Structure 1
């Protein structure tokens, strides 16, 4: 899961110090509790050490000269959850943004719940849920995809719940639920493989009789077979 955190800043201007100088601006993101001399999680300052667990995954996206402090987090982990603060430096100007901090909460994948096994022709409710812990409200957007949903009204595929009537051909196909956290620009997904059961189709029973001659006279021999189609379209048979 990749996370994009849009960020912009303004510097508290004072008469003796101006942000608009010829010095290169530096952006630092720190974990809450760390000081400015601690290892950062992301920075454009090549002389600054970066935490080994965030190196290569946390990186700045924008140009600090444009007051852009946007942060990209690649392959976010549960251990990345926590509070982060921004620090900017330019020449003699140094400032920690403690009033507005980033509260990052990395969650597990969504969970798709339904009664198993699925039976062909039986209406079954499905629910997509997300165990979400966050600071402040984050509206959730849901969306579904899968071959089993191709006959459904697209307007019904943007809810956390839907009702599916499985078909034999839906067996072995994928069903995916996406959950997007508005504002945080984070999308999580879960894919499950559908296991659909149904009664045998195209059941065929055949019987045959023939006369054979035994030691004591003619005998009547009977043979029978039964064949059917099952999930993968392969015929089963016994005799």
Structure 2
């Protein structure tokens, strides 16, 4: 920067002449913050400015943002400006959520990311390419880290068959910071067996290896931004010589309706005459119980539906 002096001497060390050279006033550089933090569902701005050694450049240029790693990571945004144009026309915007805020003609590549999700977290790298007579390009090597915060959300809660005709419950939640998971249920108290998820580190899973009692089991996920919970109900129906189980993640009202249908169906069955020429068509609920009653004593099927609020 500035200027420098070059002195020429002969072989004996005598001074021959002195030359003054002007150094370029600018050189290539990229300026980005180390980290930007924003909440899921909102928007974030990734600042990026640059300098270059070509003075006022008016030729064609391309602005690029990529994620993952510099130079080789997948592109999430790209725009192109014609010679002398201040408008950078968008050629690529992943899922339509990336928009250029800065003006590349004024050395500004700042980007806006909308509708943030936890999966958007990571490093982003800005790049500018000059074309025409210059054919020069430059990219940030360290990039800016986008940190996306999110309140907990239950992704899945389910009941699966376990060993020895038992059942086990699994709960998966996501959030940032990663939430802590706690199971509660009949004769259980509080138990936590959270295992970090593999997707960007924002998912966790907690499992109950054995559901020993009938009743409601609740999974609670909590972090510094909030909490969420979902429940699953386990009921074993017992009869002469057979046993089966029904696991339903549904609310108390839906459970009462199900039990009421079972009572009504049993009452209708008791009032049915012993001898009928044409048997009446069974209703869906009665058909389900008849199928269960035909199973062997060793079978313990389970029916699972979507999670519900307690």
Fold conserved between structures, TM > 0.5: no
TM-score, L = length of structure 2? 0.33
**Is the helix fraction higher in 1 or 2?**
2
TM-score, L = length of structure 1? 0.40
Structure of higher CA gyration radius? 2
By relative contact order (CA 8 Å, sep 6+), the higher-ranking structure is 1
